[in-house]
Each structure stands twice: as C-alpha cells, then as structure tokens.
C-alpha cells in the first residue's frame, strides 16, 4: 500500500451527516464521493491483481465479460449503460477481448448498423474461473461486518445508487 493510502483512514471522525468542511477547506477523507471512490478503487485493484496475473485481463475486460455472462448477448451501447463505463473504454476493452478470443462481435441481424457482443467458449471458461475468486474476495471483505450490517449496507448502497441516479437525471450530472 502506498504511503498516501496508508495515511487515509476510514474511521468516522464525527457523526454521519455533519458537514465535511472546515472553513473553506473540504475534509476529503470525510467526503462521501471520495470515500466511495477510494473504497471501490482499493477493492477493484485487489481483485484485478488476481485476474490480471492469471488471465491477463484488464478491469474493463472483466466487467464486460461479467455483464455478457449475466445479460448477453448485448450491443456495445447496452454494455456501456450496464457497466457505467464510457464508450471509448468499452470499445478498447471489447477490441482487446475480441482479439484475445474472449468475446465475439457479430452484426445484428435486425439492425445491421449495430454489433452484438457475446462471450466465446474461452471467455465463458475464464469467466467461470474468475467468479469464485471474486466471490471469495467479496466474502472476505464482508466478513468485516455482521450479517445484519451486511443486509443494512446492501440496502443503503441501493438507496444511495437510486438517489445518485435521480440526481444525475434531474441535474444532468452529479
């Protein structure tokens, strides 16, 4: 862990809901978007290290494979929407995954302007090997919370996501 991250602590310094500002300075380590970003990045890097070393996958490729395994076949635009990734990121990851034989890209029979993405047998095999690694990491991470706290956390994340989507829709951006 870098020295910068070692200095970062997630312990609550004050009750939730109080301002995370002193004077004109933002107390970054108490700012919810920052905290969520750091948490997400830390967890993603831990998982990414496992599948990058073993399968040579990037985070974007893994996300696309997981989405296709769950919801595919899909257009690249549908993958962008589900992954909350921009088109350039998805396009590059899809191109790499197609090149590596993990994803197949075909022309949509109904709309010839659109391509449809599916996992190949090789992609499905790798996906099926990464899933236990991902679920194990999730279980180890969630072991920091009680069963009740995990249920509450799942609920809170869902509500925060819903509210963020509302804000994004009504304000154009968060």
| Residue, of 123 and 11, whose pLDDT is higher | 123
Nearest-angstrom CA–CA distance, 108 and 112: 5
**Binning pLDDT at 50, 70 and 90, where does residue 4 land?**
very low
| Residue whose token pair is 């799942």 | 154
Average pLDDT, the chain: 87
Q: Encode pLDDT of 32-56 as tens digits.
A: 999 999 999 999 999 999 999 999 9
Is this structure's pTM higher than 0.75? yes
HEC per residue, the chain? CCHHHHHCCCCCCCCCCCCCEECCEECHHHCHHHHHHHHHHHHHHHHHHHHHHHHCCCHHHHHHHHHHHHHCCEEHHHHHHHHCCCHHHHHHHHHHHHHCCCEEEEECCCCCCCEEEEECHHHHHHHHHHHHHHHHHHHHHHCCCCHHHHHHHHHHHHHHHHHHHHHHHHHCCC
Average pLDDT over residues 13-29: 66
Domains by residue range for the chain, with CATH: 43-146 (1.10.10.10)
Average pLDDT over residues 104-118: 88
| Residue, of 66 and 12, whose pLDDT is higher | 66
**Binning pLDDT at 50, 70 and 90, where does residue 108 land?**
confident
What pLDDT, on the 0 to 100 scale, is given for residue 114? 85
Nearest-angstrom CA–CA distance, 87 and 125: 26
Please say if the pLDDT value at position 147 is more than 80: yes
Nearest-angstrom CA–CA distance, 15 and 97: 45
What pLDDT, on the 0 to 100 scale, is given for residue 96? 96
What pLDDT, on the 0 to 100 scale, is given for residue 10? 54
């Amino acid at each position: 862990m870098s020295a910068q991250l070692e200095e970062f602590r997630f312990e609550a310094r004050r009750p939730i809901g109080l301002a995370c500002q002193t004077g004109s300075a933002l107390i970054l380590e108490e700012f919810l978007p920052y905290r969520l970003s750091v948490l997400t990045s830390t967890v993603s890097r831990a998982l990414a290290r496992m599948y990058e070393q073993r399968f040579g996958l990037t985070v974007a490729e893994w996300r696309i494979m997981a989405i296709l395994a769950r919801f595919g076949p899909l257009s690249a635009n549908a993958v962008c929407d589900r992954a909350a990734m921009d088109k350039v990121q998805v396009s590059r990851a899809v191109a790499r995954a197609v090149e590596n034989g993990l994803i197949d890209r075909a022309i949509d029979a109904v709309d010839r302007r659109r391509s449809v993405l599916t996992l190949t047998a090789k992609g499905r095999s790798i996906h099926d090997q990464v899933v236990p690694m991902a679920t194990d990491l999730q279980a180890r991470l969630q072991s920091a919370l009680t069963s009740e706290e995990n249920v509450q956390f799942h609920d809170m994340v869902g509500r925060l996501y819903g509210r963020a989507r509302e804000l994004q829709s009504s304000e154009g951006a968060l």
